[in-house]
Structures are given as C-alpha cells and as structure tokens.
Structure 1
Amino acid sequence: MKILVVDDHALVREGLCQVLQCLDPHEKTDVLQAATCTRALELAHFNRDLDLVLLDYLLPDMNGLSALETFAQRHPELPVVILSGSANPSVVQQAMALGAAGFITKSSLSDTLLNALRQILAGEPYHPADLSPMSQAADGVQGKLNTPPVLSPRQQEVLVQLINGLTNRQICDKLSLGSETVKFHVSNILRIFGARTRTQAALEAKRWGYDPASSPESR
C-alpha cells in the first residue's frame, strides 16, 4: 500500500508515518511525504500506484479546498482525505461536496484515524459523525446554512458569474475554462449552498454577502 502525506510540518508527517504502519498488519505501508501541494502533485504524477492522499487543509502554497479541486481534476480516481486542526461544519460540508473521501481532525485518536482510513479504503466516505454534511439536509436538500460557506478562489469566480445570470457556456468564455470544469464547479456550488437550482444558489449566496458588484471584474 502506498500513501501520500501532505503537511508542511515535518513532525506531523513523521508522526503520521509511524501511525500508518499499523493500518494493515498484513501489508507494508509505503508513505511518501510532501510539504507543499505543488510537491504533492508532482509525487502523485510520478506515483500512479498511490492508494490514498492525506492532505492538510492549511498549506503554504494552496488552501485545502483549492488543493482538493486540483487533485480531483488531475487524479479523480485517487481518494483524498482532508486533515484539519479544526472542523467548521461548513468546511466539512464543502470538502465532501468537492469530492473528499473523508475529513479527519488532527485532534482525533490514532485508532480513529486508522479506522476512518480503513473505511475509506473500503470505498466508504468518512466524516466526523457530529459534523456530517448530511446533518443539515432535509428531503435531499440542505436547509439554510448556519455558518458562512467557504469557497475556493475558483468557486468564487464561477459563483460571481452564476449570480450575474451567465450560462455555463458564457462562464466558459468569461473565465477561459472548459465546459466540464465549469459544470464541475457549478454542481459543487449548488451542493455547497444546498440548492436545487442556480437561482436558489444565487439567492443563498447573496444572503451571505456574495455581491458581484464588489468583485474586481465589475470595477
């Protein structure tokens, strides 16, 4: 088994390396380390046999949601687990919406981490029970968010165009993005805001202060 640990603190990486050796008593776990997302993506490119990525939410060169998006686009088959020192329910919700295989807080016990990773490797997503993104759901659609949603920089750019009423094709042209990329972002934005339609997402975004008139592009 091969796992990539991405964290800018060497002691954290070394500690995880030790813990991960207990993941499977019948198989050796090979752990690769990266201190930045840039290095992590390089390692993922040259190690196509990776089974899992443990990705710190706060990295020096890229925030966790942007890093998660990049991994999802370049390595959609690779499970990525977010590690964070804190667990804002909104962040958990958005990480899972962006395709994270799990969200684990660094305050978790080693056994909790190992059991979560075994569950993920078995094909089941994991998130702390008390921070489940589904806990805010009702009839398949979330109720209004109680905490401000956290969007990646690219999601914010797409959201501004969505609020302005642009179609996916127009967003592609405006931001020089591919159609699948825009569809990916719009779908995730709808999930983040608990909306079935673009109009609902735009209204909920405005409720949280996302105003196209204040964006750099409108000036």
Structure 2
Amino acid sequence: MRVLLVDDHEIVWSGTRRLIEQLAAEVEPGRPFAFDATRDVETACQHQAGDFDLVLLDYHLPTLSGLAALHAIKAHFEATPVCMQSAESSPQRVREVIEAGAAGFIPKSYRLDDMEAALRVVLRHRIYLPAEFVLTDDVTRSREPDELPREDLARFLRTELSPRQRQVLALAIRGTPVKLIARQLAIAEGTVKVHLSMVYRALGARNRTDALCRVFDAQAASALDLQ
C-alpha cells in the first residue's frame, strides 16, 4: 500500500506515518507499505500519477489550498482516491469538499481512537464521512411523502438497480470523475450521466453528496460495497 500525505505541518509527518503503517499492516497484512509526505500541492504533483493508492490532503496549505488544492490533486492523481483532512469540519465545509470530488473527509480535531477508526476505513479504500455530517439537520432533507423509506434503501440498491447502475453509483460516490468512470467501465460519458441521473432521481437525491448521505444515513453502504 502506497500513501501520500500532503500537509505543511512537518511535525505531524512521522506520527501520521507510524499510525498509517500500523493500520495498513492490519488492513492488508503482508503487503509492502510505502509512505511519502510533502508540504504543498506543487511538490506532490511531481510524483508520477500512479505512484500512490491513497492521497491524504490537508485543507489549509501554502500557496494552493482548499478546493483549488483538491482539484489540482485530483486532476494529477486521476485514478487515486483523495481524502481531505481539515481542522474545520462544519457541514458546509464537508459538503463542499465532497461535492468537489473528495472520496472522504476526516476532521483533524478527532481524538486518536476516532482518527484511527476513520483512517482504517479510508485505508480499505472506503469512504469516510463524519457521522455528525450525515445526521445533522443542515444536510438531512425533508422527505417527500412518496420517497423510498430509509429502511428499504439497501434492498432497493441490491434488487432494483441494475449491476451497471450500482457500479456507476459506487464509483461516483467515491469521487471518480465521469470521464474516468466511463473509461473504467468502457462506456460513453453520456451513458454514465444518464445512469447517474436515473439513479439520483430514484433515490430522491440532487447530486452525489445527497446520494452519499442517503446511503450512509440508511446504513446501506454494504449494498454498494462501500463499508
């Protein structure tokens, strides 16, 4: 497993490496582990695009930071999941990061045991969202009378969506761009967009962030292999 940390606080590099190496040995025992850390996006993008399995990106960085940094990292490491970390974890901050294509968000204010649990999830290439974000009133929409009940969502994902629709939704929720979904599944970009439009409509979701919240709120991630 190869992990890149982009964080300008070098004092956290060694501690993060030790923690991630320990968790990686637990998640994928026997697999070689490699870790690198850089202070900024520019240095990070000097690595080859396929060098890493996961990028952990701090929100506040020198020169290029925030959503601009996320866009630059995702553009360079096109096929690599990028998980954002930030000391600020307001619902608005989490939402904007997820809508920009991050494959997860970990608050840096977490205690050690919460941080370990979050990193364990992302090292398994699964999505991590703070529970407080999924459950907050700021992101929980009012439900329409005819909308699919949360307790039926997992069954719906397993039985009512086609295998292709489940693949497209799973990749979209992970933050994979439409063009890369199309490339991975060998289908046209227009076909990907049609699948997403149909699935979002079926879920009563406006976009991938709403779809992600619905799936996590209903504890239906297993139906898409996102646990």
TM above 0.5:
yes
Equivalent residue for 1:39?
Answer: 43
Structure 1 residues 127 and 92: CA distance shift in structure 2, 3 A:
same
CA distance in 2, matches of 1:140, 1:74: 38
* Displacement of 1:103: 0.9
The letter for the 1-side match of 2:19 is V
Equivalent residue for 1:104?
Answer: 106
The letter for the 2-side match of 1:138 is R
Is 2:81 aligned against 1:79? yes
Number of residue pairs matched by the alignment: 147
CA distance in 1, matches of 2:104, 2:70: 11
Deviations 1:45-101 (A, max 9, x none): x26130111111000111221111122223232111111112121010010111111
Equivalent residue for 2:133?
Answer: 131
Q: How does 1:39-188 map to 2 (within 5 A)?
A: 39-43=43-47, 46=48, 48-132=50-134, 136-138=139-141
Equivalent residue for 1:10?
Answer: 10
CA contact (8 A) 1:93 1:192 kept: no
Q: Which runs of 5+ in 2 are unaligned?
A: 145-192, 194-205, 211-227
Show structure 1 runs of 4+ deviating over 3 A: 190-194
What secondary structure is seen at the aligned counterpart in 1 of 2:126?
A: coil
Of 61-70 and 121-130, the range deviating more from structure 2: 121-130
Deviations 1:157-207 (A, max 9, x none): xxxxxxxxxxxxxxxxxxxxxxxxxx9xxxxxx85998xxxxxxxxxxxxx
CA distance in 1, matches of 2:70, 2:143: 24
CA contact (8 A) 2:2 2:35 kept: yes
What secondary structure is seen at the aligned counterpart in 1 of 2:115?
A: helix
The letter for the 2-side match of 1:5 is L
CA contact (8 A) 2:84 2:106 kept: yes
Q: Which runs of 5+ in 1 are unaligned?
A: 142-182, 184-189, 195-219
The letter for the 2-side match of 1:103 is F
Instruction: Percent identity, please.
Output: 32
CA distance in 2, matches of 1:58, 1:14: 19
**RMSD, aligned CA:** 3.1
